Amino acid sequence: MRILVVEDDPVLRQQLHDAIAAAGHTVDTAADGVEGHYLGDVEAVDAVVLDLGLPQMDGLTVLRRWREAGRQMPVLILTARAAWHEKVAGMDAGADDYLAKPFHMEELLARLRALLRRLGAHSSAQWQCGPIWLDTAQAKVLINGAPLALTSHEFKLLSLLMQRKEHVFSRTELSEHLYPYDSDRDSNTIEVFVARLRKKLPEGCITTVRGLGYKLVDPAVSA
Ligand code: CA
C-alpha cells in the first residue's frame, strides 16, 4: 500500500516513515500542510497519517479540502494529548481514526492496518487468497503454510493485489501505488516484478487480463 505521512516534526516524520516502510508500505512524506494537501490530492495514496498542527495549512483544513474534493482515502489524524475538541473536530472533518501524541509506534501501525483492512473488506490482519496467506501485522507470506521469501518490492506488489482480490490492476495503477512521488516510474518494470512474483507463487494465482492488466485469483476457484 502507499501511505502519505504529513508531519512537520522532522524526528517524528522520519520515525513514522521508517516504521511504516518497515511494515511493507511505500511511504511519501510532507512537512507542511500545503505540500501534504497537494500529495493527497494528486497521488494514488491508500491511507494518510495526518498531523493536525502543521505550518502553512493546518491539518483540519487539509482534511476538509480533500473530503470536499471527494478524496475518500482513510485518514488517521495525530492530535495533541488531552485536546478532546481536536478529536471531535477531526472526526467531523472526515477523519477515520485518531491517535493522541505521544503514541507508541506499534499502536499507530495497528490502527493503520485496521484502516487498510476496511478498504479491502478484510476482517483480520491475515489475508488469504487460496493457498496464499499474507500476514499484514508481521509482513510475512505463507504458501500452503510454508514461509515464502519475497523482496520488499514483491511484498508490496502482492499486498496490493491481495488487498483487492479479483480486481484488475493496470500497470499504471500498480506503479502509482508502488512508487513514491518524484520517483522514476516506469510501468515496464512492473511487468518484470509481476513476472518474478508470479514465479514464486503457485501456478494460476496471478492472471493476465489481456490489454487491461493483472489480477490475483484463487486458482482452485477460477479453474
Ligand atoms: Ca505538528
Question: For the segment 63-121, what is each residue's pLDDT rounded down to a tens digit?
Answer: 999 999 989 899 999 998 778 888 899 989 999 999 999 999 999 999 999 998 877 66
* Ligand 1 centroid from CA 36, angstroms: 13
Q: Where are the domains of the chain?
A: 2-117, 126-222
CATH of domain 126-222: 1.10.10.10
* Ligand 1 centroid from CA 206, angstroms: 42
* Ligand 1 centroid from CA 8, angstroms: 5
Q: How many CB atoms lie within 10 A of CB 120?
A: 16
Question: For the segment 130-157, what is each residue's pLDDT rounded down to a tens digit?
Answer: 999 998 888 899 998 899 999 988 999 9
Alpha-carbon span 157 to 187, nearest angstrom:
13
Helices (H) and strands (E) in the chain, counts: 9, 11
Pairing of strands 97-100, 146-148: unpaired
- Report the C-alpha dihedral over residues 90, 93, 94, 98, rounded to 10 degrees: 0
Give the model's pLDDT for residue 222: 67
Alpha-carbon span 63 to 176, nearest angstrom:
21
131 prior amide bond cis, ω within 30: no
* Ligand 1 centroid from CA 106, angstroms: 20
* Ligand 1 centroid from CA 110, angstroms: 22
Whether domain 2-117 has CATH 3.40.50.2300:
yes
